[in-house]
């Protein structure tokens, strides 16, 4: 396999977006999602669709209208808007996310809940998952909304290989704390393990939207997209993860390097080597 040398280059621009239809609509969509209080997947999709419609209506550009003249055309444009918003728009400020984390990860007001939680954690470290689950369930009887217990309960089921129960509790966690990065990442991993890649992608995309500096969302999404043969989108996500890992001086940069090489070989097989290089250039990455 050809070894690719990846050199990161900094691209400076006065604007985060260029002037394509997708970019103009993405500016509107970013403003929409930032103003939306309950930013669930349905509201997010509404922001994308409404922003595209408003942009078309405001400019009445014949080329734009022609671009969305078919269902596939509309879906393609919305997909590009989603990609731009995910990587360029700060949905929630870091301060707001920190406040939410502190709110949902603070100690319970009931001492028995905190005690049972600690006991459960001790059993988890000893890999005694069944007993740990019993301790966590005791905690939940007294505080059914205590997110740390729910997350750890899900993690125990995941380690036992009981993926359905793990999903059940991660979903419960996210119903209480939709911005929980731990639950978002792990439920994405589980759905990937179940080969439900599109479902997994939904959670990874939410993770990317909320935590654009967290490489895990891009990394998981990129790997899934490879399995779906969506190599261009996979490459953009893996490049983004690679840049974050390099900035963090993370050892995971070796993993993204290997995945980039795999994507290169797959795209080369279908005569898309030029597209690979174009994406690398757009992402500010030089390949030698």
Q: HEC states along the chain? A: CCCCCEEECCCCCCCCCCCCHHHHHHHHHHHHHHHCCCCCHHHHHHHHHHHHHHHHHHHCCHHHHHHCCCHHHHHHHHHHHHHHHHHHCCCCCHHHHHHHHHHHHCCCCCHHHHHHHHHHHHHHHCCCHHHHHHHHHHHHHHCCCCHHHHHHHHHHHHHHCCHHHHHHHHHHHHHHCCCCHHHHHHHHHHHHHCCCHHHHHHHHHHHHHHCCCCHHHHHHHHHHHHHCCCHHHHHHHHHHHHHHHHHHCCCCHHHHHHHHHHHHHHHHHCCCHHHHHHHHHHCCEEEC
Q: CA–CA distance from 233 to each of 63, 132, 224, 278 (Å)? A: 24, 40, 10, 12
- Alpha carbon distance 22, 51 (integer Å): 10
Q: Where are the domains of the chain?
A: 15-91, 101-184
Question: How many residues belong to the chain?
Answer: 288
Contact 85, 51 (CB under 8 A): no
Alpha-carbon gap, residue 256 to 211, rounded angstroms: 19
The answer to whether 236 and 279 are in contact (CB under 8 A) is: yes
Per-residue pLDDT of the chain (288 residues; tens, 9 = 90+): 444 544 443 332 334 444 788 888 899 998 898 888 777 778 888 999 999 889 888 877 777 677 676 767 788 888 888 878 876 777 788 888 999 999 999 999 999 999 999 999 999 999 999 999 999 999 999 999 999 999 999 999 999 999 999 999 999 999 999 999 999 999 999 999 999 999 999 999 989 988 999 999 999 999 999 999 999 999 999 999 999 999 999 999 999 999 999 999 999 999 999 999 999 998 888 776
Which CATH superfamily is 101-184 part of?
Tetratricopeptide repeat domain (1.25.40.10)
């Amino acid at each position: 396999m050809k070894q690719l040398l990846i050199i990161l280059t900094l691209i400076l621009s006065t604007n985060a977006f260029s002037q394509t239809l997708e970019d103009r609509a993405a500016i509107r969509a970013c403003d929409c999602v930032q103003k939306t209080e309950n930013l669930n997947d349905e509201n997010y999709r509404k922001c994308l669709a409404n922003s595209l419609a408003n942009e078309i209506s405001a400019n009445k550009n014949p080329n734009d209208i022609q671009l969305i003249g078919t269902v596939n055309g509309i879906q393609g444009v919305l997909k590009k808007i989603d990609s731009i918003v995910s990587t360029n728009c700060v949905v929630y400020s870091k301060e707001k996310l920190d406040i939410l984390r502190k709110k949902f990860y603070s100690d319970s007001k009931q001492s028995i809940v905190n005690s049972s939680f600690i006991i459960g954690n001790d059993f988890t470290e000893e890999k005694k998952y069944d007993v740990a689950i019993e301790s966590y369930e005791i905690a939940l009887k007294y505080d059914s909304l205590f997110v740390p217990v729910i997350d750890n309960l899900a993690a125990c089921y995941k380690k036992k290989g009981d993926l359905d129960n793990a999903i059940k509790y991660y979903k419960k966690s996210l119903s209480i704390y939709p911005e929980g990065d731990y639950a978002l990442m792990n439920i994405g991993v589980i759905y990937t393990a179940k080969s439900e890649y599109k479902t997994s992608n939904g959670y990874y995309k939410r993770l990317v939207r909320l935590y654009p500096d967290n490489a895990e969302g891009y990394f998981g999404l990129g790997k899934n997209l490879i399995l779906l043969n969506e190599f261009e989108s996979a490459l953009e996500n893996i490049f983004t993860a690679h840049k974050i890992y390099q900035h963090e001086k993370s050892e995971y940069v070796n993993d993204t390097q290997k995945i980039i090489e795999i994507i290169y070989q797959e795209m080369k097989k279908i005569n898309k080597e030029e597209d690979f290089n174009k994406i690398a250039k757009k992402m500010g990455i030089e390949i030698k």
